Structure 1
């Protein structure tokens, strides 16, 4: 879960800078507002997954820790990718051209996600769920 927390932190930094870029536009239009709503929703989801996983892993009789961690990591990775796609689409070329915090967070996050091959972990969790009949 430390890895997923790192991903969530980088995604949060991307959201914060993207929102700053969008808020600075004059006027702020419907497309900027829509992007802000999407980014905020995914950001909130990151926190929910982290909190839910922490509760499950801290419980006296936790659920399968490997399954909980795999599910949270998958959800956080997917939300992080959605955040980057939306943030970059909505803000355009300025952040990468100027080396803004969004650009740095996006580059770091993409590297972090590539370093952790999540698919084999998810396949094992899925196989265990199928074998358990869940």
Structure 2
């Protein structure tokens, strides 16, 4: 399968396999409308439908769910979402927040990292970091 050719929708694959098998809805105990939509590729396979088709066709529901997943991922990679995905910068490539040097009122430099707001991060609260020689309250 090439990247430009979409995988076959699981419903269409099922329809191809069931040319000689009638009464799929009755055999799988699924509503006829749902089965018809799946066979036309208008509805996605759920885990329940995959289990029922797998039982009827004597194969694994996993096969049908993997087929659905391949279809979904191809649609995401080639559909409306593809452009949006291209704009996402991967975590490993994203630049870490730059440390900015800010001068305190007394003229000394504050080397704490400055966040997006432009203000230095607050110093840790004294209660959350007790002095090393302080007695343990527990």
TM over 0.5: no
TM-score, normalising length: structure 1: 0.34
Q: Which has the larger radius of gyration?
A: 2
User: Structure 1 or 2: larger helix share?
Assistant: 1
